[in-house]
Structure 1
Amino acid sequence: MEAQNNIPNQKFPLQGAEGARLVVLGAGESGAGAAYLAQQQGYDVFVSDFGTIADKYKAQLTGWGIRFEEQQHTEAEILAATEIIRSPGIPDKAPIIKKIKEKGIALISEIEFAGMYTHAKMICVTGSNGKTTTASLTYHILKKAGLNVGLAGNIGKSFAYQVATQNFDYYVLEISSFMLDNMYNFKAHIAVLLNITPDHLDRYDYKMENYAASKFRIAQNQTAADYFIYCDDDAETIKGMAQRSFKAQLLPFSIQHMVERGAYLDDQNIIINPILEHFKMSINQLALQGKHNIYNSMASGITARVLEIRNQTIRESMTDFQNIDHRLEFVAKISGIAFINDSKATNVNSTWYALESMGNNVVLILGGVDKGNDYNMLKELVKQKVHSIVCLGKDNSRIHEAFEDDVEVIVNTNSASEAVQVAYHLAKRGDTVLLSPACASFDLFENYEDRGNQFKTAVKEL
């Protein structure tokens, strides 16, 4: 697939920048790391954040001697830049982004920038759901195999900071659509596209094809020596692939049918057969259970086999892997009621996967900032498995409209503590209280981690 939207005539300095002006917009993990790497490469760096900068990042920037501002954008400083690195959370509609584009200043992502300063092989994972789990599992397998590997992107320490301070041979990068939007010359050696389901449509003019196009940028610049791993069961992925050409070697995975090269399900066994000897493992041995995690494990397993990691190492890694926080994380069992923290489920499809892996008798905690959600895909699972819904958000009207005929009880709450108390009283022994909000968290919380942590604290206080 050809690289799309390349920055015309843009020459990026690869060996030091000799005082070129570089502005970083946003001073979170991504922005601070990008600023540090840029300074290391000889740029004159300025960081600008329209919001408040967290104390941790202020201390870092100050310690590094990097100029910064917060709660404003000084246009004279920003528009004098040679290049601008945009943090992924800043949308195209932001006034400063419009002015940068009007002036024709190169606007790139932290991933694009950091990729210029490392010769490591890139294993890049994207998709609407399962990115963090798949990236973490892939990293776990590679690390266990003794590879010199880093984990970055949407997870852990920023990619740029690691490039500045480490010397890895491989990186596993969890990459969101927002990051992909400003990646142009960056190339993934192994690109993984897990699925494409409606998410963040507010950033893509509410057009699914725009969001899908962003996801497919994961494969841009790949050559015949590279690999594109994808889900052959995902309708949007297959639709998008039919409209594009790929130079990379294609390795699909499916639980619905056999594939010649890639991974598939044979009865209760995952079979992986790319390139060399094939791999076989019972799904009952997987540390991660549920249909969605079979897909995640297949994607990680194919990646491992492409890198010629021993079958025994893959099997051991898939058996002993511990899932990340806030992703179907078991918190506690109190009075026979299980509490599960799935705060990372910020879209409907993630919540569908969570419910699909549950038994019956669920009290579901839903709600937050609705990104144009269509709750219809949840209705059947809610009818089968959920007897009560506890809403956790400022505006819960759409949840009431969607499910008022499907559950016995829908209750509004305004805090994690209140939601946990109400859910505990609605549940009985043998039930599961599942926090899987299907929404962003910014109405009541700093982010999904804050929401998950407050949920865990509230459970432990019962």
Structure 2
Amino acid sequence: MFKRSLVQNRVVVLGGGESGAGAAILAKSKGFDVFLSDKGQLHQKYSDILIAENIPFEQGQHTEERILDSDLVVKSPGIPDTVPLIVALREKGIPVISEIEFASRYTDAQLIAITGSNGKTTTTLLTYHILKNAGLNVGLAGNIGESFAWQVAEKKFDYYVLEISSFQLDNIIDFRPHISVLLNITPDHLDRYGYSFQNYVNSKFNVIRNQKVSDHLIYFEDSEVITDEFAKRNIIPHQWGISLEEKLESGSYLNDGQLFSQINGRTFEQEFDKLPIKGPHNAINAMAAISVAQLLGVNPAQISEGLLSFSNAPHRLEEVEVINGVTYVNDSKATNVDSVFYALGSFNQPVILIAGGVDKGNDYSQIEELVRNKVKGLIVLGKSFEKLQDYFSGKVPQIYTTQDVQDAVNKGQEWGVPGDIVLLSPACASFDLFKNYEDRGDKFKAAVRNLISQ
């Protein structure tokens, strides 16, 4: 098992959500003097756990004197590196790391790290499902499910499938996956990266920073951003491509509706249309999961069984209802423009698109052609509607703005005719009108179902 040489005794955990509570539990189990601090209010679940574990904590404030007296800080990914407290810690030379970095120091499990601007959750869940279905002793963690650190403290897995965000990768030092998956890199979270796309790209490429020649990188070969970056970097791990456009001699590709994968002398073939997940983006996700499974020696029958029995997480092209011939689809997880590109590409029918929210520096030109060809009406749902309205004015037959989800769904019903798709695919964050993308998706589904009772 890899262990970084640590002399730290006093560990402070900043943030008391799932990852923070898990990091605190792991720190205590390893004999550290641990203290958790959250500037907000802790969820009752986590405060109860910390009390039961006899871990001191504070909420509603950060006591800087105590935090700055630490030897190591484990930071929630939601806290930017630019906040004064983090700057002060770094100026004092106190290491600030992420939960995935901390947890990885105390496990000898093989790590499969999946990142990308879009598709992380589906690919992570699908990969986990295939491996677990095949009988591997595997955990699910990272940006999804139970805390990675918490599981390392209390469970014993041979493998972990980890959904990894750029925010988590920003604060790694030695984190090293045996298999990394880089699905795509498109502009997202630019407000967190000084509105520099290259800064965001660099963050994503941290996933391979510590990989060795014995490790593996699975990547989307059709992404110019990724392949251009390859030309600038020395890529150490063995590389396996995924493509929707090219037949690859080594790697995975889609051709005539068939998924093909050829890795380490193992071959696999599957008719894509038979899978429960649809659309070109999900073909990419499926090929990534297949590639991981092949690298780990899962046999073709088990891979196929896992693919066919998979059920995706909600809010990802989730069909809600068909009402009077109109299909209502919840894609609330589409919080950037690239996600909407793939969502629109999944339908041949006319689309009434509901989009909007908190714009993160979006460039709508990448979906302009699809919108012109497929969208018969745009409903802008959000407090800031001007950018979307102005960009697509004259490019779609009709535009409607609202700040009420029921009103948006009602307008979709008014415009819709049998065969149409009413698609919630926002391209934006949700925090102007909703708690999060799940809340937005749940309220959309409730509004759709209200149509039935009207």
Task: Tell me the TM-score normalized by structure 2.
Answer: 0.95
The secondary structure found in structure 2 opposite 1:408 is: coil
Q: Which residue of 32, 42, 66 maps to 2:31?
A: 42
- Once the 2 structures are TM-superposed, how far is the Cα of residue 286 of structure 1 from its aligned partner? 2.4
More deviation, 320-329/190-199: 320-329
More deviation, 184-193/336-345: 336-345
Q: Which residue of 257, 266, 282 maps to 1:293?
A: 282
Partner residue, 1:3: none
Q: Deviations over 1:249-281 (max 9, x none)?
A: 111111211222211233332221111231112
Matched, 1:366 2:373: no
Q: Distance in 2 between matches of 1:392 and 1:164?
A: 43
Partner residue, 2:302: 313
Matched, 1:172 2:179: no
Correspondences of 1:3-402 after superposition (within 5 Å)? 11-12=5-6, 20-402=9-391
Q: Distance in 2 between matches of 1:167 and 1:105?
A: 30
The secondary structure found in structure 2 opposite 1:401 is: helix
What residue identity is the alignment partner of 1:137?
L
Q: Distance in 1 between matches of 2:344 and 2:72?
A: 45
Q: Distance in 1 between matches of 2:210 and 2:240?
A: 17
Matched, 1:434 2:428: no
Partner residue, 1:4: none
- Give yes or no for contact 1:360–1:386 (8 Å, CA) kept in 2: no
Q: Distance in 2 between matches of 1:166 and 1:419?
A: 46
Partner residue, 2:437: 448
Partner residue, 1:5: none
**1:60–1:413: structure 2 CA closer, same or farther, 3 Å change rule?**
farther
Q: Deviations over 1:30-77 (max 9, x none)?
A: 111111111222222221222232233222223322222223211011
- Once the 2 structures are TM-superposed, how far is the Cα of residue 442 of structure 1 from its aligned partner? 1.3
Following superposition, which runs of at least 4 residues in structure 1 exceed 3 angstroms of deviation? none
More deviation, 50-59/132-141: 50-59
- Give yes or no for contact 1:417–1:455 (8 Å, CA) kept in 2: yes
What residue identity is the alignment partner of 1:68?
F
More deviation, 210-219/49-58: 49-58
What residue identity is the alignment partner of 1:453?
D
What residue identity is the alignment partner of 1:12?
L
| RMSD, matched Cα | 1.5
Q: Distance in 2 between matches of 1:125 and 1:393?
A: 31
- Give yes or no for contact 2:349–2:419 (8 Å, CA) kept in 1: no
- Once the 2 structures are TM-superposed, how far is the Cα of residue 168 of structure 1 from its aligned partner? 0.8
Q: Distance in 1 between matches of 2:98 and 2:37?
A: 15
Partner residue, 2:392: 403
More deviation, 421-430/358-367: 421-430
The secondary structure found in structure 2 opposite 1:461 is: helix
Q: Deviations over 1:12-34 (max 9, x none)?
A: 36xxx7xx211111111111111
- Give yes or no for contact 1:152–1:171 (8 Å, CA) kept in 2: yes
Q: Distance in 2 between matches of 1:193 and 1:176?
A: 11
Q: Distance in 2 between matches of 1:373 and 1:155?
A: 25
Identity fraction in percent: 51
More deviation, 62-71/272-281: 62-71
- Once the 2 structures are TM-superposed, how far is the Cα of residue 243 of structure 1 from its aligned partner? 1.0
The secondary structure found in structure 2 opposite 1:278 is: strand
> Runs of 5+ in structure 1 lacking a partner?
1-9
Q: Distance in 2 between matches of 1:61 and 1:234?
A: 44
Q: Distance in 1 between matches of 2:381 and 2:41?
A: 25
The secondary structure found in structure 1 opposite 2:136 is: coil
Q: Deviations over 1:67-97 (max 9, x none)?
A: 2222321101111111001111111221211
> Runs of 5+ in structure 2 lacking a partner?
none
- Give yes or no for contact 1:291–1:357 (8 Å, CA) kept in 2: yes
- Give yes or no for contact 1:151–1:173 (8 Å, CA) kept in 2: yes
Q: Distance in 2 between matches of 1:62 and 1:444?
A: 34
The secondary structure found in structure 1 opposite 2:70 is: coil
What residue identity is the alignment partner of 1:50?
K
Q: Distance in 2 between matches of 1:187 and 1:68?
A: 30
Q: Distance in 1 between matches of 2:264 and 2:204?
A: 26
Q: Distance in 1 between matches of 2:51 and 2:416?
A: 50
Q: Deviations over 1:377-435 (max 9, x none)?
A: 11111111111122221111101011111122222222333322332223222221111
**1:423–1:64: structure 2 CA closer, same or farther, 3 Å change rule?**
farther
- Give yes or no for contact 2:379–2:399 (8 Å, CA) kept in 1: yes
The secondary structure found in structure 1 opposite 2:306 is: helix
What residue identity is the alignment partner of 2:432?
D
The secondary structure found in structure 1 opposite 2:132 is: helix
Q: Deviations over 1:86-112 (max 9, x none)?
A: 111111221211111111110000000
- Give yes or no for contact 1:360–1:384 (8 Å, CA) kept in 2: no
What residue identity is the alignment partner of 1:48?
S
Number of equivalences: 448
What residue identity is the alignment partner of 1:158?
S
